[in-house]
Each structure stands twice: as C-alpha cells, then as structure tokens.
C-alpha cells in the first residue's frame, strides 16, 4: 500500500491552502484527492468578485482566487489526483479512492485532512410543501448551470432563503435578463452578508420578505406559481398573509452543511449546531490524526477565512507528522448565552500557540460584548457594534491570555 504523510481530501480553497502550508513547512509526501475535473472547488463557479480582500488585499473573482493557489500547487509540484472520489477512510488512516485510470486505490496516511467543503441544504431536508415539479433548484445548481454551462434555468424566479448564494444569484440572474420577483426569509433578519443584501437586492429593487416562507408550489407540468406566507416567532404560518408569485423557477438558498459523509461510519464526535466534526484547537477530530478544516468543519462566510483556517490546520497536522504534537489534557469550550456554536470544541489546558475561536451568535445583537471566560476569570472581552448570525466572529486568544485552564472556556454575549 502506498504511504503518504498527509492526505488532503478535497482540492478546493481549504485543501489547496492546507497543501501549500504543509509543503512550506517541509512536508513533501502529500496527496490531494479531488473528485472534480479541476482544482478550485466551488470557487470555479463563483465568477462574482469580492474574494481575497483579506488574503491578497484586492478584489478577485472566485476562479482568479483559486488560480493563485493552483499556480502555487504547480510551482511546488504538490501531487494531486483529479476525478478521484474518496470512498472510504478509517481510524487506521487508510484511505480508498477511485478514478477511471487507477481504479480503486488504497493509501496509508500518517494524517488525513478533511477539506471536502459543504453542500447545499435542499427542498427535501426542510420538507417544503407543494407539488413535486421541475423548476426547483438549489441556488448553487443554478449558479453552476449559468456560470459554467451557460444555461439560465428560468425566466421568472423566486428565491427562498437569504443565504449569500441566493443573493448573489438574484443579482446574477437579473443581469442575465431574468426577472427575480422576490426573496423570502423565514427568520426576521437576513442570513446573508450585509454587503450582499445591499449590492444584490437593494440595488436591483428586489423585495426581501422577512419572516416569510413558502407554503405551496403549484403548477401542472413545471413550477408555475409559488405561494409564500408570513410566520410568527415560532415559525407558525399566520393566516391571511399569503402572497402568490407567478414564476417558472424556485431557487433555494437555505443553508449549507459540512460534507462529512466519509465520517458517517466512524465514531467521530459531531457538533449538532455546526453540523461538522468536533475538533480541538489543533483542528484534530475526535479520531486521532484526522483533521478537519474549511467548510467541511463549519460553514464560513468568506473564502479568505477558509484558506486561513486550512493553513493553520495543516500546520497542526505537520507537527503531528513530525512527532512534535504533544497531546495535552483538554478543556471544552462552551457556547454560552447568545452564542450558537464555538470552534474549536476543546483547548489545551496550557496552550502554547494562538487559538482562533470562531463563534456565531444565535440572533442579531446591537452594542454588545462578547466575553470569553473560564470560571469567573474573564480572559477577553470584545465590544461589538453589531453581532450577526450571518457573520462569523474570529477571536484570537494568545497563550498569555489563557494561562493555565482549570475548567472549560465559555463564550457568551453580554448585553449592556
């Protein structure tokens, strides 16, 4: 069986960033396994700009952002396989993939990095009522059809969910001549980045219906009409609030979920909120030597954070490969009041490196503080003018901030 120091599953933004970081840290025996025909992952269909502001301090399109990493992979001669789908991983760090040239191949890894991205929540997952008709697409599928295959899937569009892809597609399809009649969001606030609400909806006068959801999909042979209605705070449908839209297409932008099917059969601890694996501050899952990063770990708002996280995760795996990773007693992190989830899920009792905490709030807040404490000891306090569920907070803790932990680390929102 072939031996590899680091197998990276997924050649998108996370996988490529991780590979480059590992290579720069002195690891040569790397293998990236990518199931599509090219590196770059979902970036290849994101032809809008706004990528790379943090990393490169310029605004790039998705493919341009990806290309910078692809060029680096080539310059470093990092091995990768395309059209290669990983079908199995196990606790003994064996990986099986398949492609047309090699057939099924087993590889023995020293570390595995799960960088397989995320997938779109779909109609089935939230049981949208109404007829089963053609003309319902996830926003990402419609984006793929339009940007890579040159096909506009419909002319009159309604969008459910105010996730970023939906907002981007509202603008994109409008620019391509489609008529976007509106966006419905079940929450009383938008789930997308503020800049997208402004640039993709407001600039094109596309109405956003907050606290609304789809109650029916009608038509004979394809979608002809969608009906929305207002909901109360418990998501109960309010009577007499129905509005109907004559459309041929319904796009769904109702959330992204980490792609972790490879771990389905493993005894890996999962976070019911982030829907990804639980990791320690070294990005190691509950299964030793298996690491997770990027959208496979938790869904990020912007790609720059994916690249950064993957970079950090890869460096942790490199320490593991080099035998420099000394596992310490762990203390859990906890999402306190107002916080939906905290990553990582545990930290070393006495950390020697900076820790990046990623947190999301459960609802929007104005003028609040985020406290990070252990017991009664406040480690750090951050003041936020706005705190939104759609915008992940990254909080960097220095080892000196933390000192020595004796109990868990709690992150909570304090309203003044």
Question: What's the min distance (Å) between Cβ of 239 and another protein?
Answer: 13
Question: What's the min distance (Å) between Cβ of 152 and another protein?
Answer: 5
Question: What's the min distance (Å) between Cβ of 8 and another protein?
Answer: 17
Question: What's the min distance (Å) between Cβ of 7 and another protein?
Answer: 17
Could you tell me which stretch among 122-130, 327-335, 349-357, 372-380 binds another protein (CB under 8 A)? 122-130
Counting residues that bind another protein (by CB under 8 A) gives 51
CA dist 113 and 342 (Å) reads 20
Binders of another protein among residues 72 to 111 (CB under 8 A) are: 83, 85, 87, 98-104
Binders of another protein among residues 29 to 58 (CB under 8 A) are: 35
- List, as one string, the DSSP characters of 76-123: TT--EESS-EEEEE-TT-EEEEEETTTEEEEEEEEEEEE---EEE--H
From residue 222, give the alpha-carbon distance in Å to each of 149, 154, 193, 249: 22, 11, 32, 8
With binding defined as CB under 8 A, does residue 122 bind another protein? yes
Closer Cβ to another protein, 75 or 151, answer by number? 151
With binding defined as CB under 8 A, does residue 406 bind another protein? no
With binding defined as CB under 8 A, does residue 311 bind another protein? no
CA dist 309 and 92 (Å) reads 25
Q: Beta 103-114 vs 249-252: how paired, if at all? A: unpaired
Contact letters (x/-) for another protein, 195-224, by CB under 8 A? --------------------xxx---xx--
The phi and psi torsions of 128 (rounded to 5 degrees) equal -65, 125
Question: What's the min distance (Å) between Cβ of 26 and another protein?
Answer: 33
Closer Cβ to another protein, 131 or 243, answer by number? 131
CA dist 415 and 339 (Å) reads 12
CA dist 93 and 278 (Å) reads 18
Contact letters (x/-) for another protein, 251-280, by CB under 8 A? ----------x--xx------x--------
Question: Could you tell me the two tokens for 107?
Answer: 């590889």
**Residue of 48, 144, 225, 243 interacting with another protein (CB under 8 A):** 144
Binders of another protein among residues 176 to 195 (CB under 8 A) are: 176
Bridge partners of 107, per DSSP, are 2, 95
Question: What's the min distance (Å) between Cβ of 290 and another protein?
Answer: 17
From residue 280, give the alpha-carbon distance in Å to each of 227, 243, 289, 401: 45, 47, 12, 18
Question: What's the min distance (Å) between Cβ of 47 and another protein?
Answer: 15
With binding defined as CB under 8 A, does residue 233 bind another protein? no
Closer Cβ to another protein, 1 or 100, answer by number? 100
Task: Give the CA dihedral 76, 78, 83, 85, nearest 10 degrees.
Answer: -150
With binding defined as CB under 8 A, does residue 242 bind another protein? no
| Beta strands across the sheet bearing 346-348 | 346-348, 330-335, 409-415, 365-374, 377-387
Question: What's the min distance (Å) between Cβ of 257 and another protein?
Answer: 8
**Residue of 135, 161, 258, 336 interacting with another protein (CB under 8 A):** 135
Angle at 59 between CA 54 and CA 61, to 5 degrees: 115
Question: What's the min distance (Å) between Cβ of 288 and another protein?
Answer: 21
Chain Cα centroid distance, residue 401: 28
Q: Find, among 338, 328, 330, 344, the residue nearest to 276 by Cα.
A: 344
Contacts with another protein by CB under 8 A lie at: 35, 83, 85, 87, 98-104, 119-120, 122-125, 127, 129-135, 137-138, 140-141, 144-145, 148-155, 176, 215-217, 221-222, 237, 248, 261, 264-265, 272
């Amino acid at each position: 069986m072939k031996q590899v120091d680091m197998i990276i599953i997924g050649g998108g933004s996370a996988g490529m960033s991780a590979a480059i970081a590992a290579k720069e840290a002195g690891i040569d025996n790397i293998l990236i396994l990518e199931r599509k025909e090219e590196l770059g992952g979902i970036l290849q269909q994101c032809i809008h700009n706004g990528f790379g502001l943090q990393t490169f301090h310029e605004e790039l399109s998705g493919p341009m952002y990806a290309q910078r990493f692809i060029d680096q992979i080539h310059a470093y001669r990092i091995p990768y396989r395309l059209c290669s789908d990983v079908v199995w991983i196990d606790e003994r760090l064996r990986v099986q993939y398949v492609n047309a040239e090699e057939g099924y191949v087993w590889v023995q890894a020293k570390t595995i990095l799960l960088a397989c991205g995320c997938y779109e929540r779909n109609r089935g997952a939230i049981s949208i009522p109404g007829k089963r008709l053609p003309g319902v697409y996830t926003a990402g599928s419609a984006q793929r059809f339009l940007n890579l295959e040159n096909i506009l899937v419909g002319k009159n569009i309604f969008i459910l969910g105010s996730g970023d892809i939906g907002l981007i597609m509202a603008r994109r399809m409008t620019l391509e001549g489609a008529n976007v009649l509106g966006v419905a969001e079940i929450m009383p606030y938008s789930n997308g980045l503020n800049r997208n609400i402004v640039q993709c909806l407001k600039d094109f006068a596309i109405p956003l219906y907050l606290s609304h959801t789809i109650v029916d999909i009608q038509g004979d042979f394809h979608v002809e009409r969608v009906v929305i209605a207002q909901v109360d705070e418990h998501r109960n449908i309010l009577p007499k609030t129905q509005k109907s839209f004559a459309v041929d297409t319904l796009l769904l932008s109702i959330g992204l979920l980490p792609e972790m099917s490879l771990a389905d059969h493993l005894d890996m601890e999962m976070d019911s909120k982030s829907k990804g694996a639980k990791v320690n501050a070294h990005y190691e899952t509950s299964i030793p030597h298996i690491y997770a990063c990027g959208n496979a770990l938790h869904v990020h708002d912007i790609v720059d954070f994916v690249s950064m996280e993957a970079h950090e995760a890869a460096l942790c795996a490199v320490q593991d490969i080099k035998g420099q990773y000394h596992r310490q007693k762990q203390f859990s992190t906890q999402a306190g009041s107002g916080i939906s989830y905290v990553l990582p899920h545990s930290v070393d009792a006495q950390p020697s490196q900076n820790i990046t905490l990623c947190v999301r709030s459960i609802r929007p807040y104005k003028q609040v503080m985020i406290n990070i404490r252990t017991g009664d000891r406040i480690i750090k306090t951050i003041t936020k003018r706005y705190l939104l569920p759609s915008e992940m907070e990254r909080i960097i803790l220095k080892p000196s901030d933390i000192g020595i932990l004796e109990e868990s680390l709690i992150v909570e929102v304090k309203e003044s």
